[in-house]
């Protein structure tokens, strides 16, 4: 455990060193991030001038939702995209041997090797929007914050697992970048209350593209409206997809070792 923590710190240190060489980019990106989140909020505000609620959610509640989508988007950008998108490169270049020969689980190495921590400002923006939303709803209690933390972790686990599983398909299909970019769908579909969609779409957004679990559940938790069925459902789903993705990964590695040249 201690060794793994040390490795993560070393990996972060290394990526920070590289990114510091391109410092000006960081300011530009922060500005772009603020503008893009600001635009989403403005759009929402314009819509809510016409209707009092969407799918039973008020403007302030949807604001929390937008904050959560932004936060998760940046977790993907800081962590999963830089790390997991390399899997296809490793496979295409046949560089996987280099990882497999190390006495550390290959899944750990591909998960943590590249962390773009310089994008951290995006995370701050997301959490700020959540905070403002929760304050306006009047749901800032330590219990809600704890729930929010728990379900944000569950969301991150779900997104990680899906991304890992999609990238793992590279072992069989080699070119997979296009498919893996599906992972960004949650930010388009997820910035909206799932309850606002017709029933068939709700099913789709719960189990196929699990935006309900990834974005709606943490937002409900933060605003004190989470039912225990949905809460348990999200935790169960997170456990299920994580185990599934890990299983698929191990299968791919076994397959790779018996087939590659």
Partner 1 sequence: MPIIHVDHLCKDYQVHQKEPGLAGSLRSFVRRKYQIVPAVKDVSFEIAQGEIVGFLGPNGAGKTTTLKVLSGLLYPTSGRASVLGFTPHERKAEFLKSITMVMGQKQQLAWDMTPGDSFLVNQAIYDVPDQDFRQRVGELTDMLELQPVLKKPVRKLSLGERMKCELAGALLHGPKILFLDEPTIGLDVNMQQAVRTFVADYNRRTGAAVILTSHYMADVEALAERVLVIDGGRLAFDGNLSALVAERAPNKVLKLQLAQPVSPERLAVFAPVRMIEGLTAELLAPRGNVAEIAARILNDVPVADIAIEDMPIEEVLGRLFQRKPMAEAAK
From CA 110, how far away is CA 115, in angstroms rounded? 11
51 binds partner 1 (CB under 8 A): no
- Does 23 help bind partner 1 (rule: CB under 8 A)? no
Radius of gyration of the chain, Cα coordinates, nearest whole angstrom: 19
Task: Using CB under 8 A, count the residues that bind partner 1.
Answer: 25
Does position 178 interact with partner 1 (CB under 8 A)? The reply is: no
* Residue placing its CB nearer to partner 1 in the complex, 169 or 241: 169
175 binds partner 1 (CB under 8 A): no
Task: Tell me: does residue 135 bind partner 1 (CB under 8 A).
Answer: no
Cα dist from 151 to 73, 74, 107, whole Å = 15, 16, 23
Verify binding: residue 232, partner 1, rule CB under 8 A. Answer: no
129 close to 70: Cβ distance less than 8 angstroms: yes
* Residue closer to partner 1, measured from CB, 91 or 217: 91
Q: At its nearest, how many Å lie between partner 1 and the CB of residue 90?
A: 10
- Residue number, 105 or 235, with CB nearest to partner 1: 105
Task: Please choose, from the candidates 102, 96, 112, the residue with its C-alpha nearest in 3D space to the C-alpha of residue 168.
Answer: 96
Interface region with partner 1, contact rule CB under 8 A, candidates 13-21, 136-144, 155-163, 197-205: 13-21
For partner 1, which residue of 20, 39, 89, 95 counts as binding (CB under 8 A)?
Answer: 95
- For residues 239-258, which are near partner 1 according to CB under 8 A? 254, 257-258
Q: Is 97 in the site for partner 1 (CB under 8 A)?
A: yes
What residues contact residue 231 under an 8 Å CB cut-off, 6+ apart? 147, 151, 217, 221
Tell me the C-alpha to C-alpha distance, in Å, between residue 99 and each of 135, 165, 253: 46, 18, 11
Tell me if 15 contacts partner 1 by CB under 8 A: yes
Cα–Cα–Cα angle for 112, 117, 119, rounded to 5 degrees: 130
Phi, psi at 52, each rounded to 5°: -75, -30
Tell me, what DSSP letter sits at residue 56? T
CB of 249 to partner 1, least distance (A): 14
CB 71 → partner 1: shortest distance, Å? Answer: 27
Using CB under 8 A as the binding rule, whether residue 142 contacts partner 1 is answered as no
Binding mask 103-122 for partner 1 (x = CB under 8 A): xx------------------
> CB-based burial of residue 11 (10 Å sphere; 0-12 exposed, 13-18 middle, 19+ buried)?
middle
Site for partner 1 in 55-94 (CB under 8 A): 94
Contact between 10 and partner 1 by CB under 8 A: the answer reads yes
Identify which of 133, 142, 156 has the alpha carbon closest to the alpha carbon of residue 215. 156
- Lookup: tokens for 138: 């009047």
Q: If 0-12 CB within 10 Å is exposed, 13-18 middle and 19+ buried, where does residue 9 land?
A: exposed
Give the binding site for partner 1 (CB under 8 A). 3, 6-7, 10-11, 13-15, 17-18, 94-95, 97-98, 100-104, 254, 257-261
């Amino acid at each position: 455990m201690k060794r793994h923590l040390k490795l993560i710190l070393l990996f972060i240190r290394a990526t920070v060193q590289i990114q510091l060489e391109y410092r000006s980019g960081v300011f530009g990106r922060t500005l772009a991030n603020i503008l893009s989140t600001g635009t989403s909020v403005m759009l929402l505000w314009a819509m809510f001038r016409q209707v009092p609620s969407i799918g039973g959610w008020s403007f302030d509640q949807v604001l929390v939702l937008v904050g959560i989508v932004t936060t998760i988007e940046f977790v993907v950008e800081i962590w999963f995209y830089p790390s997991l998108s390399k899997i296809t490169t490793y496979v295409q270049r046949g560089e996987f041997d280099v990882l497999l020969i190390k006495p550390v689980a290959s899944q750990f190495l591909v998960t943590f090797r590249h962390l773009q921590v310089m994008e951290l400002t995006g995370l701050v923006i997301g959490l700020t929007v959540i905070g403002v939303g929760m304050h306006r709803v009047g749901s800032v209690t330590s219990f809600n914050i704890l729930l929010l933390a728990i379900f944000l972790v569950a969301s991150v686990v779900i997104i990680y697992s899906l991304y890992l599983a999609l990238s793992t398909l590279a072992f069989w299909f080699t070119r997979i970048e296009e498919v893996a970019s599906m992972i960004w769908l949650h930010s388009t579909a997820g910035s909206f209350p799932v309850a606002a969609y017709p029933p068939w779409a709700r099913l789709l957004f719960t189990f196929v593209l699990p935006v309900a679990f990834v974005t709606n559940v943490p937002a409900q938790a933060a605003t004190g409206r989470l039912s225990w069925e949905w809460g348990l459902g999200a935790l169960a789903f997170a456990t299920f997809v994580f185990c599934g993705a890990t299983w698929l990964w191990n299968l791919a590695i076994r397959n790779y070792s018996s087939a590659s040249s």
